[in-house]
Structure 1
Amino acid sequence: MGRLVRLVGAPAALNIARRVPRLRVDDDGRVLDFDRDEPQDTVNQLLDQYNTVFGDVGQLLGRQATRDFSDSPHQTILHEAGILPAREAQPARILIVDDHVLVRDGLAGLIEPQPDLTVIGQAGTVHDAIEAARRLRPDLILMDIALPDGSGSQAARIIRSELPEIKIVFLTVHEDDDVLFTAIASGAAGYLPKSLRTAELLTRLRAAVQGEIALPPAIARRILDEFGRLPATTETDEAGGLTDRETEIVRELAHGASNREIARKLVISENTVRNHVSNILAKLHLHSRRDVAGYARKHHLDTPSE
């Protein structure tokens, strides 16, 4: 190592350095040799000498003296010695999933200026979200529920099954309870409305990164209310864990109803119907609406809902 550190404060710096055992510097302040068995001890002694000679500004000068060293592979020594400040944590890496480019770009514009958060990618479909998660390994995925080729809950299940360390937070306009509970059941770390203010969104994302659940109080209350209505014990659900709403939709699918017809009958949006159908296929491990109809007949779920 030809030049480990260049000292500042010459000529006083040279006199200080020459007090440290096994530390050799040339007349320009370049370090020629040091205690290679105990390099941290050399740095500590150098810092002590700076503090002794320069008093209150010793720590600052010590940092300046070792500025070149901070870019070397040995900078860990300086952090441990206290000459350099503690390393800042790397920003949390976020993948944004939404089928609207403007929404994705808008969210990226809010997140990127944050020093502790960074956007590493975007996706607009379930397929692309899964592929991006596998490739980029983000710390957190901020995802919409409604996607062109399925639901965010479906993507979350697949991603969480393969990469359980990734945290997933849904950001959506959907407030239907069944959609909410399905999202939480998929392993999500949070569920946020798109009407959220920017400051609260960032706060919730930071909480999720730290392992907390990102839920506004109103949504948390809805979840607790739902748990409060559950019986103490339940029998095994023959319908594969479907919610009441999903069971209604299975009955309609068994009779060949379209998404529009189901939406009209149940007074919900077609997007909500599509999300339910995607969740039903995922829960029952089926591939098509025809498969659902066959499942419904086998499990006596083909009686039309009233």
Structure 2
Amino acid sequence: MSAVSRALVWDRQLLCRSGLASIIRREFQNVEVAIAEDADQALVWLAATGALGLLVLDGGIDLAAVAPGGIRGLRHRYPQLCLVIVDWRRDRGAMLRAIDEGAHGFIPKDMEQDEMLQAFRQVMAGQVYVPPLVSYVDVETLDKGSDRSRLASISSLTERQREVLTHMSMGKSNKEIARSLRISESTVKVHVAAAFRLLGVHNRVGAVAALQSRGDASASMRDQLVSRGQLGVDFRTRAFG
């Protein structure tokens, strides 16, 4: 990702727009920051900048007027755009979906300012940011000593995390997994890190062992991927996660 020199804060709430814009201006003094309260203003900015820059987007905004298809549609229309979602919701599923659809980060609006700045720094540096709470699980799943907790940990994985781990169990690298699932390599890393935390493991061997504790779970998932044509597909031109 090239250095970001422009940013747009598109938020429905005046205080949020102003606050986020102020934070970005103070921390990144070389970045020109604009604000938008509706789709018309956002479209003007996108046209004027060539969609080259950072868009900080309120997660509750309907993107239909800008790019049908939500986040994925926006990234298809503006593939060079760096996109960060800000939202009051602390919904783990929503966060993972946003990243999977192409967002470069998901930042809770009630996050401490220092943490928020660190999140923006990470995105500006070309990395994908997801908040630590993505890895939170029920206390029961943290009891690694019991089969029940191990099964609970595995059952809490998202479908995409299961797919990534199944490809991993076949010995594929992150780059090969990215090609097979048609997602970016950075997104694969996000899913791997989150899955490792959920399973209470620190490496691929531990993750594969956890999957095998479910018997033929890995084989079952592999059969599903084959039936859906997700194994052995060619990676074409997808520039986002």
TM-score, L = length of structure 1: 0.41
Match of 2:48 among 123, 135, 138: 135
Q: Does 1:201 align with 2:193?
A: no
Q: Could you tell me how far 1:205 is from its partner in structure 2? A: 1.1
> Which stretches in structure 2 are left out of the alignment for 5+ residues?
138-155, 164-220, 230-241
Q: Could you tell me how far 1:107 is from its partner in structure 2? A: 1.0
Cα deviations by residue, 1:46-88 (Å, 9 ceiling, x for unpaired) = xxxxxxxxxxxxxxxxxxxxxxxxxxxxxxxxxxxxxxxxxxx
Q: Could you tell me how far 1:219 is from its partner in structure 2? A: 1.9
Matches within 5 A, 1:77-226: 92-116=5-29, 118-126=31-39, 128-136=41-49, 137-147=51-61, 154-219=69-134, 225-226=157-158
Secondary structure (helix, strand or coil) at the match of 2:102 reads: coil
Secondary structure (helix, strand or coil) at the match of 1:215 reads: coil
Q: Could you tell me how far 1:153 is from its partner in structure 2? A: 9.1
Cα distance in structure 1, aligned partners of 2:42 and 2:70? 7
Secondary structure (helix, strand or coil) at the match of 1:141 reads: strand
Percent identity of equivalent pairs: 22
Q: Could you tell me how far 1:109 is from its partner in structure 2? A: 1.5
Cα distance in structure 1, aligned partners of 2:123 and 2:91? 22
Compare relative contact order (CA 8 Å, sep 6+) and give the higher one, 1 or 2: 2
Cα distance in structure 2, aligned partners of 1:119 and 1:173? 25
Cα distance in structure 2, aligned partners of 1:153 and 1:208? 24
Please, what is the CA RMSD of the aligned residues?
Answer: 3.3
Residue of structure 1 equivalent to 2:150:
none
Cα deviations by residue, 1:140-186 (Å, 9 ceiling, x for unpaired) = 11111112665999453333223212110111012334433332232
Cα distance in structure 2, aligned partners of 1:91 and 1:183? 21
Structure 1 or 2, whichever has the larger Rg, is 1
Contact 1:173–1:194 under 8 Å retained in 2: yes
Cα distance in structure 2, aligned partners of 1:144 and 1:221? 23
Total equivalences in the alignment? 148
Residue of structure 2 equivalent to 1:236:
228
TM-score, L = length of structure 2: 0.51
